Amino acid sequence: MFSPTSQTAGLLDSGVLERSVAAQAWTYGWAISRDTPAPIQRAGYWEVRVGKPEQTTRYVLPHLDREVLKQLVADEPAAGTWLKVCAPLESVSPLLSKDWKIHAPEFLMSVALARSAESLAAGYRVHIERVGALLRATVLTEDGDLAASGQAALDGAFATFDQIVTDEAHRRRGLGRSVMAALTNGALDHGARHGVLVATEAGAALYAVLGWATVSPVTAASMPVELG
């Protein structure tokens, strides 16, 4: 569990999340959401041992520390190693060899959670449940088909929003907003005060409309895996 220090508690009360706080909250929440072992604190980064063929280990750097990054990539890591660096691509890519695959831009975002009206398009219903430290929200059609879903990992004052997905056949009906509203209200009910997430470029545009602020660009890179 990520517990804010007394120094960061004031930041939480002010409604402002400093980048290292947001990055740490997201890293711990992501591990809960994806059911991995808890992150390991290293000097200048966190290590998450994911343990899957397509992603064995991920390293999350809250800032671009060139020496730390050079150390991590000095001997080319094994296939399935991922980097998440809270810095723009143009600052990170020169430090990586051509063997690394650079992924689409991402954005670390945060928000002071506020209760939201759960409006829902006609013909749909939303269901939310808590499973351990996870809140799961699903939007179903009247026939019971899954139209949209998402989850939030609860960790003290933080809720990490993850895997917010709307089925292609049900897009442009505000269902993503409905999932976010349901998760936000549920997170507040369980004591969370701040939301964090890492979004794609398209997702960031939606979340910005909902009041989320970009804390930092995120550069994602991985060592490719050849799946037979």
Query: Residue holding tokens 């695959």?
Result: 101
State how many domains the chain has: 2
Task: Evaluate whether residue 163 is within a structural domain.
Answer: yes
Query: Residue 117's pLDDT band (boundaries 50, 70, 90)?
Result: confident
Amino acid (one-letter) located at 224: P
* Whole-number pLDDT of residue 150: 98
pLDDT mean over 2-13: 45
Rounded Cα gap, residues 223 and 131, in angstroms: 33
Torsion of CA 202, 18, 111, 36, to 10 degrees: 70
Confidence of residue 11 (pLDDT cuts 50, 70, 90): very low
| Count of beta carbons in the 10 Å neighbourhood of residue 132 | 9
**What do you get for the CA distance between the two ends of the chain, in Å?**
37
* Per-residue pLDDT at 118: 74
The pLDDT of residue 98 is above 60: yes
| Position 208 in a domain | no
Mean pLDDT of the residues in the chain: 92
Q: Is the pLDDT of residue 109 over 70?
A: yes
Within this chain, do residues 23 and 89 fall inside the same structural domain, yes or no?
Answer: yes
d(CA 5, CA 22): 13
Assess whether pLDDT exceeds 50 at residue 40: yes
pLDDT > 50? residue 149: yes
Residue 16 has pLDDT above 70, yes or no: no
Check whether 137 has a pLDDT greater than 60. yes
Looking at the fold, whether 91 and 159 belong to one and the same domain comes out as no
With tokens 């994911």, the residue in question is 50
Q: Are 120 and 137 in contact (CB under 8 A)?
A: no
Shared-domain flag, residues 168 and 183: yes
pLDDT at 130 over 70: yes
Q: Domain check: are 68 and 127 in the same one? A: no
The answer on 30 and 81 residing in a single domain is: yes
Residue 26 pLDDT > 50 = yes
Reply yes or no on whether the pLDDT at 122 is more than 90: yes
Q: What percent of the chain has pLDDT over 90?
A: 86
The residue range of the domain holding 169 is 114-192
Closest CA to 58 of 34, 38, 84: 84
Task: Give the tokens for residue 142.
Answer: 């009247």
pLDDT band at 178 (very low <50, low <70, confident <90, very high): very high
Does residue 203 lie within any of the structural domains?
A: no
pLDDT at residue 169 tops 80: yes
Q: Is the pLDDT of residue 113 over 90?
A: yes
Report in angstroms the alpha-carbon separations of 153 from 82, 136, 143, 161, 194.
21, 9, 28, 7, 12
Query: How many residues can be counted in the chain?
Result: 228
Read off the pLDDT of each residue in 6-24 and give the average, rounded to a whole number.
Answer: 66
Residue 176 within a domain: yes
Check which CATH number belongs to the domain holding 176 and give it: 3.40.630.30
Q: Is the pLDDT of residue 2 over 90?
A: no
